[in-house]
Amino acid sequence: MNGRNTLNLPTWVILTLVSLGCGTLQAQVPVTSGLREWLEADVGVQTSGTSVTNWLDQSGNGNHAMQTSAANQPTYLATGFGAANKPSVHFDGLNDFLDAGSGLNITGSGLTIFTLMRLTANANGPGIAGNQGSGGTGYLLEEGTDDRFKFFAGIGVQTADNVTGSWVGKPLLMTGFKDASNVTLYTNGVQAATASSSTSISSSSDNFLIGHNALASGFLNGDIAEILIYDRALTAQERENVTAYFDGKYSLGIPEPSAAALLGLGGMILLWRRR
């Protein structure tokens, strides 16, 4: 023992303290169990000029997203995403997409996917991220042709009509959640749609695509800053911690359930690694 008292704080508390002015956090995803994909635009984006050729998976599983055709390569934006002025990958809404292969063919009753994005304009029903295939296989986050955000995992759920247009130009954290009983879509940490379902995710023969879906003709018109995919249903606390990670890193302004408690913590000193 070194004689010091150790105070253990929840991840969201630490992240919020940092965002209140303690300094710059070396961003580390707070939940790693079951993590199958981690794409972040400030690490691992390979380009030819500004065209993205590869987006390297930081989870260690090698599920890299790539595009060998120059005509279909999205564009790397070094700054400009959200209040934190972070990098992102821009998809032009015409023909840009990335292919992460078949390694994200997650099946069964557990899945959680986080995608931080910003629409440039409404598009014609593009897949945002997923591998949904024919016959209701796979899973998908989608911007529907009816201006709804949608999540499919065994069954589909969707927001109310005419929602997507209100998000154009604004950072949006979409979270798709599937457990043994429910399929739920969250937008910026708030439940947007849910349905009871015991239907499992079945194996898809299609690759995991970003900015497009094999079943649809549309392409995403917007930017993606980060994607996290887990092959299990995260607990409510884990989802809250991951949401707080995004909020702290990108200054999204998502309210914390107990943010008022931070007012009494101003005198505390935390140690962190600087980027």
Q: How far apart are CA 255 and CA 233, in angstroms?
A: 23
Residue 18 pLDDT more than 80? no
123 vs 83, residue with greater confidence:
83
180 vs 2, residue with greater confidence:
180
The DSSP result for 163-220, as a single string, is -GGGGBTS-EEEEEEE-SSEEEEEETTEEEEEEE--PPBPP-SSPPEESB-TT-S-B-
* Nearest to 94, CA basis, from 75, 109, 108, 77: 75
For the chain, how long is the longest CA-to-CA vector?
63
Q: Which of 86-95, 100-109, 153-162, 254-263 has the lowest mean pLDDT?
A: 254-263
What mean pLDDT is predicted for residues 248-253? 95
Q: List domains and CATH numbers for the chain.
A: 28-254 (2.60.120.200)
254 vs 206, residue with greater confidence:
206
Q: How far apart are CA 66 and CA 79, in angstroms?
A: 21
Phi, psi of 239 (to 5 degrees): -60, -40
The pLDDT value recorded for residue 265 is 28
The pLDDT value recorded for residue 256 is 65
Q: What letter does residue 261 receive in the DSSP assignment? A: G
> What six digits make up the tokens of 197?
């379902």
| CB neighbour class for 85 (10 Å; exposed up to 12, middle 13-18, buried from 19) | exposed
* Nearest to 68, CA basis, from 101, 92, 102: 101
pTM of this structure: 0.85
pLDDT digits (tens, 9 = 90+) for 56-107: 999 999 999 999 999 999 999 999 999 999 999 999 999 999 999 999 999 9
How far, rounded to the nearest angstrom, does the alpha carbon of residue 147 sit from its chain's CA centroid? Answer: 20
The pLDDT value recorded for residue 215 is 85
Q: What letter does residue 262 receive in the DSSP assignment? A: G
* Nearest to 117, CA basis, from 244, 246, 19: 246
CA distances from 79 to 69, 82, 83, 143, 159 (A): 25, 9, 10, 24, 30
Summary count for the chain: helices (H), strands (E): 2, 17
